[in-house]
């Protein structure tokens, strides 16, 4: 340290610098409880606790801070007596309240109490509160976020079901039980409107019922479950209820509602993530000061938390080491690694394309076999029906293993490895649904001849929406069966084997870890299918709700009995945001097929509410053309190009403004941080100078007795003298 | 409102509700827990403000605190005498600050007190090493401990004095995303 900086070195010989620091206003807020409580009893000018008495008296002399806002009493860092004292002081300072003021205060207070009691009741009604509390205590906040995410999805599905029920199913149910004037969808009797359905005639064998239940055919096909049943168009009572319009608007509403709800939930996490993404991100401080989960009450969970923190710290140290190694890479090494990464990425893409091709082939094969309708073995029939689902599940099981193997060769830092593998798995899962739908679409819109007279293949698929609905229904059922089967037939035996068998296999396999990312991907996959399938199968949200409730209890039991928490801990804050981002990706992906099929594909002429329209979307222009002129021209203006362009321009302007604002805020934060650093150095510099000056004064007059109980007196130099300890 | 309880007067309950983040029901439940810790010491009737303190040894055995590596420091930071003997006021205060509803600034103040083992208004290297050893139960090698402490101070220290003052600590905590969710005890 060179000469000008020597002044920053704390001088051990000056005992008073510490006392000076205690008097600074910034330390007033940090007073220790015991010292202030003793000072509030107004002790005399004793020694020993000098700084405290000093500061205590100073606190009393100061009025309420003029510059700061008054914080609520409960947010003050003082002991209970002081808070009550402060409350009394504020009441007195507020002046004597007249009858009117007093009454208002009382009303305000009782309203606040009422609100708190209301919130109390509401939170006790929260679904699964006790279960989640138990899980939090045993496994910490990482796994808790998975279960609260599951609870959120249950509620979302239930609301979607209510929406479809009230607007689509309820009118149909009412009309079937009462006598209203109904207009059915007009069919022009062409060959496109022939629809027999696959209901079984004659004597039905029992196992055929099982097949029907599992694949939505047979007795399930002509029920409220599928799109094809809603053949009404208008219901006339006091007003005319337009069922096709209601159906379409309910679909759009549930998509928008999901979007808004998810964005609202992710707003808090997004704000925190923005703060986190600064250059000087502090990973070590986080782990040391905010790493231990104070909610843990279980001894096992505490032990595991400790080992996971240890693991995290070691990983961080390892990352530092790797970062240093990466910075020292030579040019040759870099070229080699980039070439390797390019080759491996090509390999990954090849694997993905191969999987998608398999799904396509399986779908085409399954459709063709179903169309042939040969009577064969019961199990073979089921396998053929479920072939696309089986292939998708197999692909989603194998590809993560391949990705995990490949990423170790690509030589990234550990944290990036985890994130990149996860992104690949997300893409694989969600894109496989897209491929399935695409292959279905190809099948539906391709006919034997070159051109389809009805716009779709009416011979094979007289009611193609019901067929798509059946495929979605099969996917949901199969997904649930797989989750249940894996839990019951793999996890429980694994626990038994690991506990009671001492062979090498058991040791290598180890106890089950609750892998949060994989489980989250599973339920996001199920939710994406639900979003796509609700248009074709209005009861699907109800099925999904029941499925997720069962999954909750299954996972909870399996977690508590079989699992130990993962050694790769998943931080609560970033994980919640991650779940919602993946869910948003699923929603975006789900919107594409729904929008394409509503707007592009010819709705089937034999079933459903959209028989007399060319596409499902056409109901909206038709209704708009029947509205009064003013409203019609307003809606036309909204849909015109002029409005769209100006809306787009205004949105862009808004976005640029917000981006500029964010940049300005970042600069201000940097400046403030530099100022903080400067202030700290200034403070220490001034204190050193002050102590030096005091020592000079003291040295100049050694015969004077040390000043005691001497506060706030000005001397010639204009410095405040501080009480000095008596020199013995 | 319904049930008549004789543990506190209404004014006392009102004062507690104003000074903490708890509702009436929760305060009564807390009193039940406090009484359970030392049934012969803690009276059921608090209307005349008895001066009763439960010793540290009984409080750190509560199920909520038992597994916490900082349980002694937590209780000491909220006690008036610094030895960890809590009166009911201190007890309620402690759980109020550690509850979900306490704001970040308030929690940061008390977190700083908890991690400051030698009570000198700074978190110095020794405090950090003690914190780390309590967290990991001394399973890191000494070199690793030194390395982690150095990196932590490097990340958070703004004024360059090689220890963390409250300003440094608060600045660091405001950017720690997990702090609010981990620094919280459910009771």
Number of residue pairs across A and B with CB atoms under 8 Å?
200
**What gap in Å lies between CA A81 and CA B110, rounded to an integer?**
17
Output B57 or A319, whichever has higher pLDDT: B57
Distance from B4 to chain A by nearest Cα, in Å? 17
Domain boundaries, chain A: 1-49, 87-125, 131-628, 661-727
**A15-27 per-residue burial string, b: 16 or more CB within 10 A, e: under 16:** ebbebbbbeeeee
**What gap in Å lies between CA A385 and CA A358, rounded to an integer?**
16
Q: Best residue in A18, A134, A288, A305 to probe B by mutation, most B CBs within 10 Å?
A: A288
Considering only the beta carbons, identify the residue of A74, A81, A291 that sits closest to B89. A81
Domain B104-182 belongs to what topology?
Recoverin; domain 1 (1.10.238)
Closest residue by Cα to residue A670 from A407, A280, A318: A280
Q: Do A289 and B147 touch (CB under 8 A)?
A: no
CB B66 within 8 A of CB A297: yes
A23 contact partners, CB below 8 Å, separation of at least 6? A51, A54, A55, A58, A722
pLDDT digits (tens, 9 = 90+) for A641-689: 999 999 999 999 999 999 999 999 989 988 988 888 788 788 878 888 8
pLDDT winner (highest mean) among A47-56, A151-160, B46-55? A151-160
A416 φ, ψ to 5°? Answer: -70, -35
ipTM of the complex, rounded to two decimals: 0.91
**What gap in Å lies between CA B147 and CA B155, rounded to an integer?**
12
Task: State the burial class of residue A7 (Cβ atoms within 10 Å of its Cβ: 0-12, 13-18, 19+).
Answer: middle
Distance from B40 to chain A by nearest Cα, in Å? 24
First to last CA, chain B: 24
Query: Which residues in chain B have their CB less than 8 angstroms from residue A680's CB?
Result: 158-161, 165, 167
Q: What is the DSSP string of A204-220?
A: --HHHHHHHHHHT-GGG
**What gap in Å lies between CA A551 and CA A483, rounded to an integer?**
8
Q: For residue A272, what is the nearest residue in chain B, using CA coordinates? A: B177
Sign of CA pseudo-dihedral A206, A211, A214, A217: negative
Output A498 or A273, whichever has higher pLDDT: A498
pLDDT digits (tens, 9 = 90+) for A332-348: 888 998 999 999 999 99
Query: Which residues in chain A have their CB less than 8 angstroms from residue B20's CB?
Result: 74
Sign of CA pseudo-dihedral A120, A124, A125, A127: positive
Task: State the burial class of residue B60 (Cβ atoms within 10 Å of its Cβ: 0-12, 13-18, 19+).
Answer: middle
Q: Which of A61-65, A553-557, B1-5, B133-137 has the lowest mean pLDDT?
A: A61-65
Q: Do B176 and A290 touch (CB under 8 A)?
A: yes
pLDDT digits (tens, 9 = 90+) for A195-224: 766 666 667 777 778 888 888 887 888 888
Q: Confidence class of residue A81 from pLDDT cuts 50, 70 and 90?
A: confident
CB A542 within 8 A of CB B151: no
Considering only the beta carbons, identify the residue of A29, A285, A301 that sits closest to B172. A285
Task: Reply yes or no on whether the pLDDT at A551 is more than 80.
Answer: yes
Query: Which residues in chain A have their CB less than 8 angstroms from residue B147's CB?
Result: 317
Of chain A, the percentage scoring pLDDT greater than 70 comes to 79
Torsion of CA A593, A599, A602, A604, to 10 degrees: 70
Cα A376 off chain centre by = 46
Q: Do A317 and B175 touch (CB under 8 A)?
A: no
B178 touches chain A (CB under 8 A): yes
Q: Could you tell me the two tokens for A580?
A: 């919602």
Looking at the DSSP assignment, which residues form a beta bridge with residue A236?
A181, A240
Q: Do A87 and B19 touch (CB under 8 A)?
A: yes
How big is chain A, counted in residues?
A: 728
CB B79 within 8 A of CB B86: yes
Distance from A660 to chain B by nearest Cα, in Å? 22
A641 contact partners, CB below 8 Å, separation of at least 6? none
Average pLDDT score, chain B = 88
Task: State the burial class of residue B14 (Cβ atoms within 10 Å of its Cβ: 0-12, 13-18, 19+).
Answer: middle
- pLDDT at residue A179 in the model: 77
Considering only the beta carbons, identify the residue of A137, A301, A574 that sits closest to B177. A574
Element (H, E) at A561: helix A540-562
Output A327 or A345, whichever has higher pLDDT: A345
**What gap in Å lies between CA B173 and CA B110, rounded to an integer?**
12
C-alpha distance from residue A459 to each of A151, A182, A277, A454 (Å): 43, 29, 57, 10
Q: Which of A58-62, A72-76, A389-393, B116-120 has the lowest mean pLDDT?
A: A58-62
Query: Which residues in chain A have their CB less than 8 angstroms from residue B18's CB?
Result: 73-74, 83, 87
Q: Quick one: average pLDDT of A310-317? A: 82
- pLDDT at residue B59 in the model: 92
Q: Quick one: average pLDDT of A539-547? A: 95
- pLDDT at residue A723 in the model: 40
Task: Reply yes or no on whether the pLDDT at A298 is more than 90.
Answer: no
Considering only the beta carbons, identify the residue of B90, B111, B160 that sits closest to A289. B111
Q: Quick one: average pLDDT of A9-35? A: 54
Average pLDDT score, chain A = 79
Q: Confidence class of residue A572 from pLDDT cuts 50, 70 and 90?
A: very low
**What gap in Å lies between CA A8 and CA B62, rounded to an integer?**
46
**What gap in Å lies between CA A294 and CA A298, rounded to an integer?**
11
pLDDT winner (highest mean) among A60-69, A499-508, A600-609? A600-609
Task: Reply yes or no on whether the pLDDT at A69 is more than 60.
Answer: no
**What gap in Å lies between CA B180 and CA B91, rounded to an integer?**
20
How big is chain B, counted in residues?
A: 187
Interface of B with A in 35-54 (CB under 8 A): none
A126 contact partners, CB below 8 Å, separation of at least 6? none
C-alpha distance from residue A403 to each of A121, A351, A433 (Å): 48, 10, 19
- pLDDT at residue A646 in the model: 94
Distance from B145 to chain A by nearest Cα, in Å? 10
Considering only the beta carbons, identify the residue of B80, B113, B132 that sits closest to A288. B132
Q: Confidence class of residue A710 from pLDDT cuts 50, 70 and 90?
A: very low
Q: Confidence class of residue A5 from pLDDT cuts 50, 70 and 90?
A: very low
Q: For residue B138, what is the nearest residue in chain A, using CA coordinates? A: A310
Query: Which residues in chain B have their CB less than 8 angstroms from residue A74's CB?
Result: 18-21, 96
Q: Quick one: average pLDDT of A627-643? A: 89
Q: Do A289 and B171 touch (CB under 8 A)?
A: no
Distance from A427 to chain B by nearest Cα, in Å? 27
Is the pTM higher than 0.90? no
Q: Best residue in A18, A80, A132, A683 to probe B by mutation, most B CBs within 10 Å?
A: A80
Distance from A299 to chain B by nearest Cα, in Å? 6
Q: Do A80 and B89 touch (CB under 8 A)?
A: yes
Q: Do A74 and B92 touch (CB under 8 A)?
A: no
Q: Do A306 and B135 touch (CB under 8 A)?
A: yes
Q: Confidence class of residue A458 from pLDDT cuts 50, 70 and 90?
A: confident
Considering only the beta carbons, identify the residue of A73, A275, A297 that sits closest to B18. A73
Going by their DSSP bridges, the two strands A232-236 and A181-184 should be labelled as: antiparallel
Looking at the DSSP assignment, which residues form a beta bridge with residue B54?
B86
**What gap in Å lies between CA A157 and CA A548, rounded to an integer?**
9
Query: Which residues in chain B have their CB less than 8 angstroms from residue A22's CB?
Result: 121
Q: Quick one: average pLDDT of A214-237? A: 82
Q: Best residue in B105, B176, B183, B187 to probe A by mutation, most A CBs within 10 Å?
A: B176
Q: Which of A396-410, A445-459, A706-720, B38-52 has the lowest mean pLDDT?
A: A706-720
- pLDDT at residue A528 in the model: 95
Q: Which of A8-12, A299-303, A604-608, A663-667 has the lowest mean pLDDT?
A: A8-12
Query: Which residues in chain A have their CB less than 8 angstroms from residue B51's CB?
Result: none
DSSP alpha helices (H): ranges in A72-140?
A: 80-93, 99-124, 129-139
- pLDDT at residue A568 in the model: 59
Considering only the beta carbons, identify the residue of B106, B155, B183 that sits closest to A282. B155
CB A428 within 8 A of CB A523: no
B10-98: in CATH 1.10.645.10 = no
**What gap in Å lies between CA B156 and CA B150, rounded to an integer?**
10
Q: Could you tell me the two tokens for A385?
A: 């029906």
Task: Reply yes or no on whether the pLDDT at A451 is more than 60.
Answer: yes
Query: Which residues in chain A have their CB less than 8 angstroms from residue B157's CB?
Result: none
Q: Quick one: average pLDDT of A410-434? A: 84
Name residue, tokens 């050193």.
A688
Q: Quick one: average pLDDT of A307-313? A: 81
Q: Best residue in A294, A310, A671 to probe B by mutation, most B CBs within 10 Å?
A: A294
Query: Which residues in chain A have their CB less than 8 angstroms from residue B82's CB?
Result: 32-34
Q: Confidence class of residue B3 from pLDDT cuts 50, 70 and 90?
A: low
**What gap in Å lies between CA A171 and CA A39, rounded to an integer?**
74
Q: What is the DSSP string of B134-149?
A: HHHTT-S-HHHHHHHH
**What gap in Å lies between CA A94 and CA A83, rounded to an integer?**
16
**What gap in Å lies between CA A434 and CA A392, rounded to an integer?**
11
Closest residue by Cα to residue B90 from B102, B108, B78: B78
Q: Quick one: average pLDDT of A434-459? A: 82
C-alpha distance from residue A57 to each of A68, A129, A687, A726 (Å): 20, 48, 22, 21
Closest residue by Cα to residue B110 from B173, B68, B38: B173
pLDDT digits (tens, 9 = 90+) for A181-195: 777 766 666 777 777
| CB neighbours of residue A228 within 10 Å | 24
Output A673 or B107, whichever has higher pLDDT: B107
Q: Quick one: average pLDDT of B65-91? A: 90
Domain boundaries, chain B: 10-98, 104-182
Considering only the beta carbons, identify the residue of B64, B81, B167 that sits closest to A297. B64
B15 touches chain A (CB under 8 A): yes
Q: Quick one: average pLDDT of A134-141? A: 71
C-alpha distance from residue A306 to each of A301, A570, B110, B120, B150 (Å): 8, 14, 22, 28, 21
Query: Which residues in chain A have their CB less than 8 angstroms from residue B171's CB?
Result: 673, 676
Q: Quick one: average pLDDT of A78-86? A: 83
Q: For residue A269, what is the nearest residue in chain B, using CA coordinates? A: B177
B77 contact partners, CB below 8 Å, separation of at least 6? A33, B110, B113, B114
Query: Which residues in chain A have their CB less than 8 angstroms from residue B177's CB?
Result: 272-273, 275-276, 286, 571, 573-574
CB A470 within 8 A of CB A211: no
CB A384 within 8 A of CB A217: no
CB A466 within 8 A of CB A531: no
Q: Quick one: average pLDDT of A98-107? A: 79
| CB neighbours of residue B139 within 10 Å | 14
**What gap in Å lies between CA A76 and CA A96, rounded to an integer?**
24
Q: Which of A90-99, A151-160, A529-538, B55-64 has the lowest mean pLDDT?
A: A90-99
Task: Reply yes or no on whether the pLDDT at B120 is more than 70.
Answer: yes
């Amino acid at each position: 340290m060179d000469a000008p900086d020597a002044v920053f070195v704390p001088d051990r010989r000056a005992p008073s610098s510490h006392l000076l620091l205690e008097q600074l206003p910034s330390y007033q807020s940090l007073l220790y409880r015991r010292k202030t409580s003793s000072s509030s009893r107004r002790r005399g000018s004793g020694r020993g606790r000098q700084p405290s008495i000093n500061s205590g008296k100073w606190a009393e002399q100061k009025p309420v801070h003029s510059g700061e806002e008054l914080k609520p009493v409960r947010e003050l860092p003082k002991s209970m007596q002081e808070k009550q004292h402060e409350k009394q002081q504020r009441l007195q300072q507020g002046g004597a309240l007249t009858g009117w003021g007093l009454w208002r205060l009382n009303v305000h207070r009782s309203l606040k109490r009422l609100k708190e009691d209301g919130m109390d009741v509401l939170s006790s009604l929260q679904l699964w509160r006790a279960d989640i509390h138990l899980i939090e205590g045993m496994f910490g906040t990482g796994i808790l976020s998975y279960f609260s995410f599951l609870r959120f999805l249950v509620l979302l599905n239930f609301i979607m079901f209510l929406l479809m029920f009230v607007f689509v199913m309820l009118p149909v149910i009412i009309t079937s039980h009462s006598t209203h004037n109904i207009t059915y969808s007009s069919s022009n009797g062409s060959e496109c409107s022939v629809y027999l359905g696959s209901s079984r005639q004659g004597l039905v064998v029992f196992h055929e019922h099982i097949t029907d239940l599992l694949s939505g055919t047979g007795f399930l096909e002509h029920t409220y479950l599928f799109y094809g049943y809603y053949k009404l168009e208008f219901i006339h009572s006091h007003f005319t209820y337009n069922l096709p319009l209601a159906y379409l608007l309910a679909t759009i509403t549930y998509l928008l509602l999901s979007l808004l709800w998810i964005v609202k939930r992710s707003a808090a996490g997004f704000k925190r993530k923005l703060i986190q993404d600064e250059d000087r991100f502090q990973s070590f401080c986080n782990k040391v000061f905010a790493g231990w989960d104070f909610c843990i009450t279980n001894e096992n969970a505490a032990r595991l938390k400790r080992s996971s923190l240890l693991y995290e710290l070691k990983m961080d140290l390892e990352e530092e080491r790797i970062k240093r190694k990466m910075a020292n890479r030579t040019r040759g090494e870099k070229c080699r690694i980039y070439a390797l990464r390019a080759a491996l990425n090509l390999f990954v893409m090849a694997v993905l394309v191969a999987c998608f091709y398999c799904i396509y082939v399986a779908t085409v094969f399954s459709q063709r076999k179903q169309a042939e309708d040969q009577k064969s073995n019961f199990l073979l029939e089921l396998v053929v029906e479920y072939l696309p689902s089986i292939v998708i599940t197999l692909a989603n099981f194998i590809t993560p293993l391949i990705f995990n193997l490949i990423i170790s060769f690509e030589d990234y830092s550990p944290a990036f490895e985890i994130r990149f593998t996860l992104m690949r798995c997300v893409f694989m899962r969600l894109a496989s649904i897209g491929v399935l739908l695409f292959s279905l679409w190809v099948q539906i819109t391709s006919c034997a001849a070159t051109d389809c007279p009805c716009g779709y293949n009416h011979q094979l698929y007289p009611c193609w929406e019901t067929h798509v609905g059946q495929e979605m229904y099969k996917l949901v059922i199969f997904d649930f069966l797989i989750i249940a089967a894996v839990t019951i037939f793999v996890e429980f035996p694994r626990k038994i084997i690991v506990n009671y068998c001492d062979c090498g296999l058991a040791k290598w396999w180890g106890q089950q870890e609750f892998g949060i990312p994989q489980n989250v991907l599973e339920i996001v996959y199920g939710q994406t299918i639900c979003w796509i399938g609700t248009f074709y199968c209005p009861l699907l949200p109800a099925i999904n709700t029941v499925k997720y409730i069962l999954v909750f209890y299954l996972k909870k039991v399996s977690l508590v009995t079989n699992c130990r928490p993962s050694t790769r801990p998943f931080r609560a804050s970033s994980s919640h945001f991650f779940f919602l981002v993946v869910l948003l990706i699923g929603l975006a992906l789900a919107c594409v097929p729904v929008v394409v099929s509503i707007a592009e594909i010819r709705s089937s002429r034999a079933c459903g509410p959209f028989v007399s329209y060319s596409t499902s979307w056409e109901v909206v222009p038709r209704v708009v053309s029947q509205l009064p002129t003013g409203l019609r021209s307003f809606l036309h203006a909204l849909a015109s190009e002029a409005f769209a362009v100006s809306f787009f321009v205004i949105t862009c302007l808004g976005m640029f403004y917000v981006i500029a604002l964010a940049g300005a805020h970042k600069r201000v934060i940097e400046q403030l941080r530099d100022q903080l650093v400067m202030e700290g150095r200034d403070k220490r510099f001034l204190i050193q100078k002050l102590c030096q000056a005091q020592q000079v004064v003291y040295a100049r007059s050694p015969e004077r007795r040390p000043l005691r109980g001497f506060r706030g007196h000005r001397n010639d130099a204009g410095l405040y003298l501080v009480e000095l300890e008596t020199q013995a | 409102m319904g049930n008549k309880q004789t543990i506190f007067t209404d004014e006392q309950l009102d004062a507690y509700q104003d000074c903490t983040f708890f509702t009436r029901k929760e305060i009564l439940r807390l009193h039940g827990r406090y009484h359970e810790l030392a049934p012969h010491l803690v009276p059921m009737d608090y209307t005349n403000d008895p001066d009763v303190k439960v010793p540290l040894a009984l409080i750190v055995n509560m199920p909520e605190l038992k597994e916490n590596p900082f349980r002694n420091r937590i209780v000491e930071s909220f006690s008036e005498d610094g030895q960890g003997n809590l009166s009911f006021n201190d007890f309620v205060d402690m759980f109020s600050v550690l509850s979900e509803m306490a704001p970040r600034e308030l929690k940061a103040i008390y977190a700083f007190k908890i991690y400051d083992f030698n009570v000198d208004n700074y978190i110095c290297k020794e405090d950090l090493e003690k914190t780390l050893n309590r967290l990991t139960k001394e399973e890191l090698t000494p070199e690793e401990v030194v390395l982690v402490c150095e990196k932590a101070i490097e990340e958070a220290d703004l004024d360059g004095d090689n220890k963390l003052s409250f300003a440094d600590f608060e600045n660091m905590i405001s950017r720690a995303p997990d702090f609010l969710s981990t620094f919280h005890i459910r009771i």
